[in-house]
Amino acid sequence: MIGVLIVTHGDIGESLLASAAQILDGVPPLTATIGVSRSDDLDDLVLRARRLLEQLDAGDGVLVLTDIFGATPGNVIARLLKDGRVEGVSGLSLPMLLRVLTGRNSSLAGAVRRALSGGTEGVVHMNTDRCLDA
């Protein structure tokens, strides 16, 4: 099973994981969050993330999700990426997270594809992109 590390500003990641746990009827295994605040030291965050990556990798790799590319959480992740072992995706949303958490028994590359599709397909203009007839 692929591990999932969520690195975001403040409590965003923790809140999204709690929402996913409510929807999925329990906290998914091999998941963790790191909330970043303005006062955090970047090197300390990288060390914390590295330790969590080791704990979350059960042999299939870890997908790291972050909220904003180029901001501190994304910069922490960028230091830890390893093709095929630690992959990163930014633009975290609840649809993205749910898509990842419900399909982690495939490859790490498959988890990346699921994250990207969850992020893009989770954005719907509800007035025009109706899924159900009213």
pLDDT of residue 123: 87
**Rg, the chain, Cα only:** 15
β-pair type (86-90, 62-66): parallel
- pTM equals 0.92
Contact 73, 5 (CB under 8 A): no
Report the alpha-carbon distance of residue 2 to residue 42 in Å, rounded. Answer: 25
51-101 pLDDT, tens digit each: 999 999 999 999 999 999 999 999 999 999 999 999 999 999 999 999 999
Task: Domain ranges for the chain, please list them.
Answer: 3-121
CATH architecture observed for domain 3-121: 3-Layer(aba) Sandwich (3.40)
Q: Is 111 helix (H, G, I), strand (E, B) or coil?
A: helix
Query: Residues 6 or more apart from 93 whose CB is under 8 A from it?
Result: 16, 118, 119, 122
- pLDDT band at residue 129 using 50, 70 and 90 as cut-offs: low
Q: SS3 breakdown of the chain: % helix, strand, coil, rounded to 5?
A: 45, 20, 40
Asked if residue 17 has pLDDT above 90, the reply is: yes
- pLDDT(130) > 70: no
Q: What is the average pLDDT value for the chain, to the nearest integer?
A: 93
